[in-house]
């Protein structure tokens, strides 16, 4: 990523932030991975200033943790964090669709490309292609966010979805993908939006967040078993 004649510092900043975000979301930069501004600047062949700005941008998005002495570290999200993300998104989206006329402006002509994203996301999920799934899923939710009148709410929802994938990607690569973990309702949601069926939209969204929270509960139960109390030593052993 070497700057050309027409590339500004802000362009470099955005390009570096986008590239590193993709690496984090795809799991190629694992949680806890540490790096410095100098390392990233050398990797991309650019000056330190746009790199530092890009890393602070990603820190503001909750993807990195900055340390004055050690540089930056990829944030590690816990199961409790993931549960909180799902609950927060569910509350906000439910509020949006309680008064869709005031909060959401659906443009029917804009649904066609979103429906294509939905189909590709479902196809990737069923085919087990995690990288493709993440890309289409994020585009799907980001493009749905264009209907939200308040851009700050749309940005908040997108940010939480990115963080949720950062949490999920390593577990999915380790444990595999199946219907108990992944949600396949993208197309049904778009169809309900296209029909103007507010009740079905809310039902689809409740199913989506219920699916996420059910996974969080299973992960919490697994963690509880793995970190449970040590079994007592049999009689006659010990000091």
The string of pLDDT tens digits covering residues 11-44 is: 899 999 999 999 999 999 999 999 999 999 999 9
Same domain membership, residue 56 and residue 22 = yes
What's the number of domains the chain is made of? 2
pLDDT at 9: 66
Q: Is residue 48 part of a domain?
A: yes
116 CB burial (10 A radius; 0-12, 13-18, 19+)? middle
Measuring CA to CA, how many Å separate 172 from each of 94, 212, 215, 218?
27, 13, 12, 14
DSSP result, 78-90:
-HHHHHHHHHHHH
Q: Is residue 227 part of a domain?
A: no
- Give yes or no for a contact between 162 and 153, defined as CB atoms under 8 angstroms apart: no
pLDDT digits (tens, 9 = 90+) for 103-121: 888 888 899 999 999 999 9
Same domain membership, residue 204 and residue 125 = yes
Q: Is residue 152 part of a domain?
A: yes
**Is the per-residue pLDDT at 131 higher than 90?**
yes
**Is the per-residue pLDDT at 4 higher than 50?**
no
Same domain membership, residue 63 and residue 84 = no
Structure tokens at 178: 């199946």
Same domain membership, residue 89 and residue 32 = no
Report CA torsion sign: 193, 199, 204, 208. Answer: positive
Same domain membership, residue 95 and residue 41 = no
- Give yes or no for a contact between 81 and 165, defined as CB atoms under 8 angstroms apart: no
Same domain membership, residue 63 and residue 95 = no
Same domain membership, residue 203 and residue 146 = yes
Q: Is residue 228 part of a domain?
A: no
**Is the per-residue pLDDT at 235 higher than 70?**
no
pLDDT at 98: 76
Residue 167: which domain range? 79-221
- Give yes or no for a contact between 148 and 157, defined as CB atoms under 8 angstroms apart: yes
185 CB burial (10 A radius; 0-12, 13-18, 19+)? middle
Close Cβ partners of 192 (under 8 Å, ≥ 6 residues apart): 200, 201, 203, 204
Whichever domain contains 25, its CATH number is 1.10.10.10
Close Cβ partners of 106 (under 8 Å, ≥ 6 residues apart): 100, 147, 193, 196
Average pLDDT, the chain: 88
Same domain membership, residue 60 and residue 15 = yes
Same domain membership, residue 37 and residue 21 = yes
Decide which of 53, 74, 95 is a domain's last residue: 74
C-alpha 179 chain-centroid distance = 18
Q: Is residue 154 part of a domain?
A: yes
- Give yes or no for a contact between 103 and 111, defined as CB atoms under 8 angstroms apart: no
Same domain membership, residue 207 and residue 134 = yes
- Give yes or no for a contact between 64 and 72, defined as CB atoms under 8 angstroms apart: yes
Whichever domain contains 156, its CATH number is 1.20.120.530
Compute the half-sphere exposure of residue 122: CA atoms within 13 Å on the CB side of its CA: 12
Q: From 100, 166, 113, select the one nearest 143 (Cα to Cα).
A: 113
């Amino acid at each position: 990523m070497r700057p050309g004649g027409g590339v500004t510092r802000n362009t470099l900043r955005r390009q570096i932030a986008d590239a590193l975000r993709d690496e984090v979301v795809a799991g190629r930069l694992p949680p806890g991975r540490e790096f410095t501004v100098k390392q990233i600047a050398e990797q991309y062949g650019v000056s330190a200033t746009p790199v530092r700005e890009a890393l602070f941008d990603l820190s503001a998005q909750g993807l990195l943790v900055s340390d004055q002495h050690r540089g930056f570290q990829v944030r590690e999200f816990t199961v409790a964090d993931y549960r909180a993300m799902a609950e927060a998104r569910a509350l906000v989206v439910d509020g949006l669709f309680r008064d869709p006329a005031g909060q959401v402006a659906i443009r029917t002509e804009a649904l066609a490309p979103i429906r294509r994203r939905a189909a590709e996301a479902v196809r990737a999920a069923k085919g087990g292609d995690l990288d493709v799934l993440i890309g289409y899923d994020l585009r799907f939710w980001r493009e749905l966010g264009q209907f939200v009148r308040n851009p700050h709410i749309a940005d908040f929802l997108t940010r939480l979805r990115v963080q949720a994938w950062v949490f999920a990607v390593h577990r999915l690569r380790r444990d595999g993908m199946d219907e108990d973990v992944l949600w396949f309702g993208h197309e049904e949601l778009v169809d309900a939006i296209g029909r103007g069926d507010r009740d079905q939209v809310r039902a689809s969204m409740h199913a989506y967040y219920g699916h996420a929270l059910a996974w969080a509960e299973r992960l919490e139960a697994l963690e509880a078993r793995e970190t449970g109390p040590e079994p007592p030593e049999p009689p006659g052993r010990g000091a």
